[in-house]
């Protein structure tokens, strides 16, 4: 397995426990590093690379939520735990609409899973930690092939463009079953 560069968020940019109403250290212990290897003949290999690295979060007993492109067409997945251990994982699948993927750890992970909450009870002005609602707006436009209007800003100029969405799954290589 190729070695990954050790990198840490600069101290000044790290979150401070006192700024959050929950146990930040417990939440961060659920975060894992993720390293995957994709076959060189995979559809996404030329654009996304054959070796990918990112992060995920433990959301259930041995199940890690991550960004889907990290595991799209992956044959090998490694989970890097905060205690220094490395555990092999298996891509369970990914959702084209949200962009999220799931990995099943093939070894024991002794850290607590991150509690998934609901934003329904949040009051206006309350601080929260959430994921973006952009996809809900795109989904509302229709199925794959729907036209998506975008407003872009580049070099001081704002302009409108329209792109057609697509079902990416039809282009991808599926996992090898053993």
Instruction: State the maximum Cα–Cα separation within the chain, in Å, rounded to a whole number.
Output: 53
Give the pLDDT of residue 135: 57
Q: Is residue 154 classed exposed, middle or buried when 0-12, 13-18 and 19+ CB atoms within 10 A define those classes?
A: exposed
* Band (28; pLDDT cuts 50, 70, 90): confident
Q: Answer whether residue 175 shows pLDDT above 70.
A: no
Residues 52 and 138 occupy one common structural domain: no
Average pLDDT (154-160) is 82
The mean predicted confidence, pLDDT, of the chain is: 83
Q: Answer whether residue 127 shows pLDDT above 70.
A: no
Residues 92 and 138 occupy one common structural domain: no
When computed from its CA atoms, the radius of gyration of the chain, rounded to whole angstroms, is: 19
Give the pLDDT of residue 122: 73
Residues 36 and 85 occupy one common structural domain: yes
Domain final residue pick, 55, 84, 105? 105
Number of domains comprising the chain: 2
- pTM equals 0.66
- Domain for residue 117, yes or no? no
- Domain for residue 129, yes or no? no
Domain at 101, CATH number: 2.40.10.10
* Domain span at 156: 134-171
Pairing of strands 100-105, 76-80: unpaired
End-to-end CA distance of the chain: give it in Å, rounded: 21
If one counts every other C-beta atom within 10 angstroms of the C-beta of residue 62, the result is: 17
Residue where the block lists tokens 């070894």: 107
Give the pLDDT of residue 149: 87
- Domain for residue 144, yes or no? yes
* Band (54; pLDDT cuts 50, 70, 90): very high
- Domain for residue 162, yes or no? yes
Residues 144 and 99 occupy one common structural domain: no
Domain final residue pick, 66, 90, 105? 105
Q: Answer whether residue 55 shows pLDDT above 80.
A: yes
Residues 163 and 79 occupy one common structural domain: no
Joined together, the tokens standing for residue 8 give 């840490």
If one counts every other C-beta atom within 10 angstroms of the C-beta of residue 50, the result is: 17
- Domain for residue 89, yes or no? yes
């Amino acid at each position: 397995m190729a070695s990954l560069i050790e990198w840490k968020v600069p101290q000044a940019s790290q979150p401070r426990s006192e700024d959050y109403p929950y146990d930040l250290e417990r939440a961060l212990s659920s975060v894992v590093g993720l390293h995957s290897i994709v076959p060189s003949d995979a559809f996404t290999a030329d654009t996304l690379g054959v070796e990918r690295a990112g992060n995920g979060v433990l959301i259930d007993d041995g199940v890690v939520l991550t960004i889907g492109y990290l595991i799209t067409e992956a044959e090998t997945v490694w989970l890097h735990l905060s205690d220094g251990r490395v555990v092999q994982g298996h891509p369970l699948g990914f959702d084209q609409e949200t962009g999220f993927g799931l990995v099943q750890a093939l070894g024991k992970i002794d850290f607590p899973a991150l509690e998934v909450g609901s934003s329904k009870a949040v009051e206006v002005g309350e601080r929260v930690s959430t994921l973006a609602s952009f996809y809900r707006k795109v989904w509302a436009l229709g199925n794959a092939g729907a036209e998506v209007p975008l407003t872009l800003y580049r070099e001081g100029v704002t302009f409108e463009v329209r792109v057609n969405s697509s079902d990416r799954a039809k282009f991808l290589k599926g996992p090898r079953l053993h």
